[in-house]
Amino acid sequence: MDLGHKNAFDLLLKEAWNSEQAAMGNSTLPTVCDKLNIMAAVHNRKLIAALVREINQRDSMNDKFEERLLSIENRLNHLSLKGIGAEEDNKKESAVT
């Protein structure tokens, strides 16, 4: 027997079976394996939903950071354009004098 599969099965029993034991006892599904499969699917769906919420929160944060980055880039471009204009004015004044 593959130890990885055994550990995964033990974890499945711990997470899915124990938390849903009463519901599974009242189930009309024909076998224990069917019940475990259904409970594991429910448990996986719960974990997937939590991960989707976390991804959505991170996407929102990334959008905010992107907006801030664009704002900073715009300010830097504006400042650099001002700096170029000031250098040209200094050159013109130097050429006149």
Which pLDDT does position 63 carry in this prediction?
97
> Mind listing the pLDDT tens digit of every residue in the chain (97 residues)?
667 767 777 777 777 666 666 666 676 667 777 878 877 888 888 888 889 999 999 999 999 999 999 999 999 988 888 877 666 666 666 665 5
Please give the biggest Cα pair distance in the chain.
100
What does the alpha-carbon distance between residue 45 and residue 39 come to, in Å, rounded to a whole number? 10
- Specify the number of domains making up the chain: 1
Range of the domain at 72: 3-96
Which pLDDT does position 15 carry in this prediction?
72
Which pLDDT does position 89 carry in this prediction?
64
Q: What's the pTM value of the predicted model, to 2 decimals?
A: 0.51
Backbone angles phi, psi at 26, to 5 degrees: -90, 0
